[in-house]
């Protein structure tokens, strides 16, 4: 059963800027929230041609419904005044987003390199669409874009079980020019911008029980995080972020638990694709090729314990998933189920999914003792 959620977009603080591998940490008898993080939700012809967008998520409904909040990146504008479109200028309609919302995906990063694909009007329509969907639901929250360039980018405030969560989304760059007027742009390679944003997190995070930063950046199709991004993400957790949620490379990168002043924090360098038709023409993909890497990933189920001393991540459980093109269209299914031939998967496919499950398990490695000391601990 989902918990009641409340939220606010009001300015509430001084603003400095105008495989089932389980990773247990010692639990604390306090309020515990269960969060789930997934990667990019994309829109391609094979997806927007589906008769029922809700079918995309049915195979992972138990994971989504068992979470207090689920976070995802929306890799497209939502402008119902224009036709839906795929690469290179993405656009989706409200029904596509509504299906994700009805599947219990609640918190969306709207800051990414495609956020300005529809120009200024595309951003304004996206703000209207997401705000309208949020008005009809107590659960939808988003960050990373704004309709008024004179208003500062502020954290989204989400309250669950009395726990106050701050959420802010930024992107490293945009494919189309904007200059950061409508989309929150912070390039970690720009020392001044990165430092200013890190100070923003330091100033903002004390106003919340815990703070989540969503970051869209790095090189595409590379499973090793850029060294500068790795250092920047470490700096964010040192400055008060409990969780840094990374995406953009379209492939899975590793995640790690980091100890900062007695608090265990979580860094996800890239969650890869969650919903994508990038490889739908090459089906089935080579299990060792790029088509496989962009077609499967993990859902990361995370427990956060909150008490008077602060917040700490107590569990991070990766659930391997893959996109599969079946009778309903392109859907997300658990790799364990696919490898067993469930959900109507042909026997000829099981060897492919067994290979993919093995590769993801090997890539992530054992996580039981992956609690690391930050670069500058107290």
User: pLDDT tens-digit profile of 200-259?
Assistant: 999 999 999 999 999 999 999 999 999 999 999 999 999 999 999 999 999 999 999 999
Residue 171 has pLDDT above 80, yes or no: yes
Residue 93 has pLDDT above 60, yes or no: yes
Task: Please report which confidence band the pLDDT of residue 346 belongs to, taking 50, 70 and 90 as the band edges.
Answer: confident
Please give the mean pLDDT across all residues of the chain: 89
* Residues 157-160: contacts with CB under 8 Å, at least 24 apart: 157/7, 157/8, 157/9, 157/10, 157/12, 157/208, 158/5, 158/6, 158/7, 158/69, 158/107, 159/5, 159/6, 159/7, 159/8, 160/3, 160/4, 160/5, 160/6, 160/33, 160/68, 160/69
> Does the CA dihedral 271-275-280-286 come out positive or negative?
positive
Q: pLDDT, tens digit, for every residue of 120-147? A: 999 999 999 999 999 877 789 999 999 9
Q: Which residue has the tokens 């290179």?
A: 88
Give me the residue spans of the domains in the chain: 5-373
Q: pLDDT, tens digit, for every residue of 276-332? A: 999 877 767 788 999 999 999 999 999 999 999 999 999 999 999 999 988 899 999
Q: Return d(Cα 98, Cα 368) in angstroms, integer.
A: 37
Read off the pLDDT of each residue in 252-269 and give the average, rounded to a whole number. 97
Q: Return d(Cα 285, Cα 307) in angstroms, integer.
A: 46
Question: Residues, the chain, total?
Answer: 378
Q: pLDDT, tens digit, for every residue of 21-39? A: 444 444 445 899 999 999 9
Q: Return d(Cα 175, Cα 140) in angstroms, integer.
A: 26
Token readout for 223 is 């499973």
338 close to 324: Cβ distance less than 8 angstroms: yes
pLDDT of residue 367: 61
Token readout for 155 is 């954290």
Task: Give the least confident one: 16-25, 107-116, 250-259.
Answer: 16-25
pLDDT of residue 372: 38
Q: pLDDT, tens digit, for every residue of 53-85? A: 999 999 999 999 999 999 999 999 999 999 999
CATH number 3.60.21.10 given to 5-373: yes
Q: Return d(Cα 257, Cα 369) in angstroms, integer.
A: 9
């Amino acid at each position: 059963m989902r918990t009641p959620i409340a939220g606010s977009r009001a300015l509430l603080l001084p603003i400095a800027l105008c495989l089932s591998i389980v990773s247990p940490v010692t639990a604390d008898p306090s309020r515990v929230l269960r969060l789930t993080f997934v990667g990019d939700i994309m829109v391609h012809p094979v997806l927007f041609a589906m008769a029922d967008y809700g079918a995309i998520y049915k195979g992972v409904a138990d994971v989504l419904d068992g979470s207090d909040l689920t976070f995802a990146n929306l890799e497209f504008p939502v402008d119902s005044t224009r036709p839906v479109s795929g690469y290179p200028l993405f656009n989706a309609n409200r029904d596509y987003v509504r299906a994700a919302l009805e599947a219990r995906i609640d918190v969306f990063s709207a800051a990414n390199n495609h956020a300005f694909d529809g120009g200024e009007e595309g951003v304004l329509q996206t703000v209207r669409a997401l705000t309208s969907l949020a008005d009809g639901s107590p659960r939808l929250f988003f960050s990373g874009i704004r309709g008024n360039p004179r208003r500062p980018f502020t954290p989204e405030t989400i309250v669950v079980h009395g726990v106050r969560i701050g959420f802010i989304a930024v992107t490293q760059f945009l494919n189309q020019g904007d200059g950061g007027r409508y989309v929150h742009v912070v390039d970690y390679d720009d020392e001044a911008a990165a430092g200013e944003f890190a100070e923003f997190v330091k100033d903002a995070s004390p106003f919340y029980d815990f703070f989540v930063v969503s970051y869209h950046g790095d090189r595409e199709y590379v499973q090793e995080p850029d060294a500068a991004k790795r250092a920047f993400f470490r700096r964010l957790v040192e400055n008060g972020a409990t969780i840094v949620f990374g995406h953009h490379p379209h492939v899975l990168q590793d995640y790690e638990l980091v100890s900062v002043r007695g608090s265990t924090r979580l860094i996800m360098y890239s969650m890869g694709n969650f919903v994508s038709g990038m490889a739908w023409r090459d089906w089935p993909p080579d299990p060792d090729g790029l088509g496989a890497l962009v077609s499967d990933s993990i859902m990361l189920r995370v427990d956060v314990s909150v008490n008077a001393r602060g917040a700490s991540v107590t569990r991070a459980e990766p659930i391997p998933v893959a996109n599969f093109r079946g009778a309903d269209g392109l859907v997300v299914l658990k790799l364990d189920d696919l490898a067993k031939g469930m959900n109507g998967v042909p026997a000829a496919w099981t060897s492919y999914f067994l290979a993919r499950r093995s590769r993801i398990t090997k890539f992530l490695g054992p996580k039981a003792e992956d609690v690391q000391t930050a670069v500058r601990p107290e």
